[in-house]
Amino acid sequence: SKGTYDSYMLKEIDEQPAVLRRIVQKYFSDDRIQIDSELLHELAQADRIYIVAAGTSYHAGLVGKNLLEQLAQIPVEVELASEFGYHLPQLSKHPFFIFLSQSGETADSRQALVQIKDLHYPILTLTNVPNSTLAREADYTLLLHAGPEIAVASTKAYTAQIAVQVILAQALSQEKELTPSKPLAVQQQLGLAANAMQSLVDAKEEIQALVQKYFSKQETVFFIGRGNGYAVALEAALKLKEVSYIHAEGFAAGELKHGTIALIEEQTPVVAFILEGQTAAHTRGNIREVVSRGAQAIVVSQRQFSQKGDQIIFANLDERINALAAIVPMQLLAYYAALERGNDVDQPRNLAKSVTVE
Ligand code: M6R
């Protein structure tokens, strides 16, 4: 039930710190990761991982790719299920497939899974719904433990998918006996991320004020970032589009000058993510470029990379996992923009929670 909430979307956004803590509880015992050793063994044999998903789950996969490549040193491709099923790429010799699906029922993903099963490649499904079709038809399943997600716009399943992929990447790294040059204290970092998320959901009035200040009269909003910030930009744009119906686009910050900067007009809101040290200065440069063309910049930064004037600043986390925090204010932004426009936030027009047609 919605309890004291007016909408499932806001309730599910608020639940994210608790979901993250629950995931840690479920996947750790005595500080050790609990994942089926057969699964890890089979994953460790793979020469490439293919992550297949749609919509928000695809965006979670983009973050998962970075985590798996960095922590487990394995090449990863992220594929849109609707494309992949009918246009199989040249596969590697020993591929391993990960399907990401909140519902476990998405027809596009199912179609792709059937193709892969025919080829007898190993399949892992990450899903929120035990016994869903994609869970039953895969060789292995890892659950998201996010609790039922009712709002059409996916929020807690996205952060849960990222968290489970972090844990999986770490477990695979251990299975392969890698000694990372920059180890990740997964359990501790997920705890810190839950705290950061809590502070962000507690500051929701500030996000509502930003919506009133920047989004009231705007018909178009851009989101830019690099690395995980780019992945978050894509998800932030999707969230805003689907519930507020405001036209939104996510771009790689460095691509702006290759064309899209032509779209910037007086007052266009541009939300920029500063999530990593290595590219912070470049993204700051991109922000200056859009501001000098009349855009209004809204900057989301991690404290250590923040500057005076940044509108949303969150606590320092390991750069590899800070997408978990950065997306939360974006979900709230979408929620308040939808509310302002009088939209049905839980049941946006033209959309269904589970897309069971191809
Ligand atoms: O259940 P799934 O994760 O397979 O669903 C995939 C997409 O249909 C889903 O993420 C969709 O994009 C959401 N409405 C996004 O908020």
pLDDT at position 358: 86
> Ligand 1 centroid to 275 CA: how many Å?
25
Task: Tell me which residue has tokens 């956004």.
Answer: 13
Residue 138 has pLDDT above 90, yes or no: yes
pLDDT at position 240: 97
Q: What is the 3-class SS of the chain, one letter each residue?
A: CCCCCCCHHHHHHHCHHHHHHHHHHHHEECCEECCCHHHHHHHHHCCEEEEEECHHHHHHHHHHHHHHHHHHCCCEEEEEHHHHCCCCCCCCCCEEEEEEECCCCCHHHHHHHHHHHHCCCCEEEEECCCCCHHHHCCCEEEECCCCCCCCCCCCHHHHHHHHHHHHHHHHHHHHCCCCCCCCCCHHHHHHHHHHHHHHHHHCHHHHHHHHHHHHCCCCEEEEEECCHHHHHHHHHHHHHHHHHCCEEEEEEHHHHHHCHHHHCCCCCEEEEEECCHHHHHHHHHHHHHHHCCCCEEEEEEEHHHCCCCCCEEECCCCHHHCHHHHHHHHHHHHHHHHHHCCCCCCCCCCCCCCCCCC
| pLDDT (tens digit per residue) in 141-171 | 999 999 999 999 999 999 999 999 999 999 9
Grade residue 216 by pLDDT with cuts at 50, 70 and 90.
confident
pLDDT at position 129: 98
Mean pLDDT value across residues 44-72: 98
Mean pLDDT value across residues 262-277: 94
pLDDT at position 351: 86
> Ligand 1 centroid to 113 CA: how many Å?
16
Grade residue 355 by pLDDT with cuts at 50, 70 and 90.
confident
Mean pLDDT value across residues 62-70: 98
State how far the Cα of 348 lies from the Cα of 332, in Å rounded to an integer: 15
Task: Tell me which residue has tokens 């849109």.
Answer: 80
Residue nearest to atom 4 of ligand 1 (CA): 101
Instruction: Name residues contacting ligand 1 (CB within 6 A).
Output: 54-57, 101-103, 106, 109, 152-154, 242, 351, 354-355
pLDDT at position 85: 85
The alpha carbon dihedral of 204, 205, 208, 210 has a sign of negative
Which of 102, 109, 128 to mutate for ligand 1's pocket (most ligand atoms within 8 Å of CB)? Answer: 102
Mean pLDDT value across residues 340-354: 90
* Cβ atoms within 10 Å of 1's Cβ, excluding its own: 7
Residue nearest to atom 14 of ligand 1 (CA): 153
Which of 103, 128, 238, 335 to mutate for ligand 1's pocket (most ligand atoms within 8 Å of CB)? Answer: 103
| pTM summary value | 0.97
Catalytic residue of the set 2, 26, 117, 353: 353
Residue % of the chain over a pLDDT of 90: 91
| pLDDT (tens digit per residue) in 217-233 | 888 999 999 999 999 99
| pLDDT (tens digit per residue) in 67-96 | 999 999 999 999 999 999 889 999 999 999
Residue 1 has pLDDT above 90, yes or no: no
| pLDDT (tens digit per residue) in 88-136 | 999 999 999 999 999 999 999 999 999 999 999 999 999 999 999 999 9
Residue nearest to atom 12 of ligand 1 (CA): 55
State how far the Cα of 274 lies from the Cα of 283, in Å rounded to an integer: 7
Our answer to whether residue 353 is catalytic in this structure is: yes
pLDDT mean across residues, the chain = 96
Residue 356 has pLDDT above 90, yes or no: no
